[in-house]
Structure 1
Amino acid sequence: MFLKLCSARDSNQFTVSVNVEGNSTAIFVLIYEELLVRSNGIYNHDINLHPGNLVPNLKVVVNIKEPQVISTLRVPELRTGNDVAATENDPQNKNAVIEKDDDDQGVTITFKPDLEEQKRLAKVYLEKTKDKDSSNRYSRNTETTQTSTVLGQFVVQYDLEQPCTGEVFISDGYFAHFFAPTSLPPLGKNVIFVLDISGSMIGRKIEQLKSAMNTILSDLNEYDRFSIVVFNSIVTVQDLKDADLPAPKTPIYFPTVNSSSKNVTLVPPSVASPENIAKAKKIVNKLVANGGTNIYEALLVGLNIKDKGVEWDTEKKSTSNKGCSRCNSGWEDGWDVEWYEPEEIHNKLEPVIIFLTDGQATVGETNTNRIIANITKKNFESEPASIYTLPLGKSY
């Protein structure tokens, strides 16, 4: 018997090669270990269901046995892997059977989709992952409903009652002490969203971006600040006062103009109040995908906003500064705004850049290595921001 695990990128796959006598039965048992990481107050266990064919007796059983009481348990509907992480508001899997132990420290979840349910799930998975707009010139998806047998990710989410002093595990003379504090206040953030609305985002991916942004915006705290940078061939910083303007119409051509970060009109970061969050969602939900992909200049704009802080004055400098060439231009980059950053605010808000894109740069700087190197250097010229990337769909 030969067992081969695939690369780390495809670590949810493995292959088995074995000779089996005709008219006999072979049972394969795969045992592996996986570290469950507690994120946002919940443990996630994902099982990828890609049987390759419809299976008459498909059954997934998840047994959980913990030393502490299981305080939260959720089994959401099957997901594609590109979906935003499920929350308590998401629909639950109606076909999952949950049996809890009497001591509430163990639970067994059983999922047995029959052939009709497998066909339905495969169709749902395909519909969620393919572009809705069949006219998308960027799409090269050749998968059909006849060949797809991917059902999705079966997800189990749970959490435990956390002792005030943490948990101590002892085994074979070793011990581990786990801490999961629940009383720490959330970290204040100055969040800059950098959103890809290029032509390759047409269809499902722009809808994924909007869904992700609506979820993330809802999770911001009222003392956080945020900015929204959108880009295709050009880069634009969104102004919340434009939230009620009509949605832009998709142009009949894709603009090839390349914008520079030095010429972008900047907008002050907004307080994450309920009113501002509602305005931001309006703007995001009206985004239209078209044009090229100017990743480098978009990230530069995000970093420049980060560098200038969270408090700034949009008024032009007074005419008394005419004798100062630097004051005349505002900053050496040519902006006409004056920034200031009180130390007490700067120390409270952690700079964070959240970058949502689907693929490769096609406008401006397109060399990936140079983009990474230059953005990294620029980021560390002042207090560095944490940069998180959320990939959407496939890059073509």
Structure 2
Amino acid sequence: GASEDQSLESAAVSADSLVPEEEPKLEIEIIDFSIEPTVLNRYETTIVRIIATNKNTTRSAVSNLPLILPQGAFVSKGFLEVANKKYQAYVQAKDAALSALKHSITGLKEASFIHLKDQIENEYILTITIPPSSEVLVQVVYERMIPKIDGKYLVEFTVLPQLLGDTISANVSINGLRPVKSAKAMFEYETKEKRINETTVEFSIDPNILKQKVLEGSSNGTKFGVSFEFEPDPFNGEVLIDDGYFTFPFVPLKVPPTNKLVVFVLDSTSTLATVQNIFKKLLNRLEPDDQFVIVQSGTTASIWDVEASKISYQESVNDLTDDKIMPQPFKATKENIKKAENVADVIGKTSESDIQSALSLAIKSVSENKEKNSKPVIVLIKVVEPSTTTV
């Protein structure tokens, strides 16, 4: 949020580049940091609040503060408050957002600006500028659907030492439509647990211990979390309600697993680190009896040999031969999954990608290798860059 122009943005920026070269950059001073994850069933809404000040009487102060969000979380809203006035954040195109931020600094106005720095680690950078002799409150809200791991849910958050101020607080609230069966803090030091009723449990961490653990921890931040589960629904389903809408996901009982033949199509013109990371996560979800094939969508469509860690088959739109032998898929054993991860690491970036040929090759691989008892699945992994259109 900002007093004249506000932005919630997805482009990179450095606070140093926004300060005139003849002036050394003044850092803001954080007074208070708080984080409050609230869970309703399995949907998390977390509020991050930062109170900061600039005690200089003539110059603006500006800082870049890191925020690491849990995997799958996204920033949904935010605001900046100064002198009892609240300014809501909104999404804006890169150039307009940077222009607004620079204007706020040079015009001695308050502003905040958030952008995604690292998609894999889900790390954001929150830039805050404060005019002389001022104090601001910046609030960022992020949301996510909490995954279920080993039968339990885990709400977790990361506190970085750069966010520590004079005071710090962390409170977690678990709420469900069904009774909370169990809830446990995933750290050994003192935590206050309060069961409000059978469907609500709250946790709070001692501020002094919290601050001490963050200071003693890694520069990459210290993780905190609460593991929980609800009493099972008698109909084996779970109603999720948010803002007047509901969903009812359910899992059929006693359904035998279906063997799959999964063809992964990896676009090598995309951000490779992201493609590799997503591929490895999906790969590790396969069952041992599943089979998989790796197709690279580059200048030509290629199939990789997991055993030899090299391309074993290539095909392009100009290739009219039909006598090529289609490589066999690989079983999703632990050994083959490890080898496939190594293949993903050695795939090089290409300047072009023939998606059509790659998908045609994937279909051809499925057609020639499909077994009666296996279900074919084709997964295209491609990073689509965000547009700069104002939303």
TM-score, normalised on structure 1? 0.47
In proportion to residue count, which structure has more helix? 1
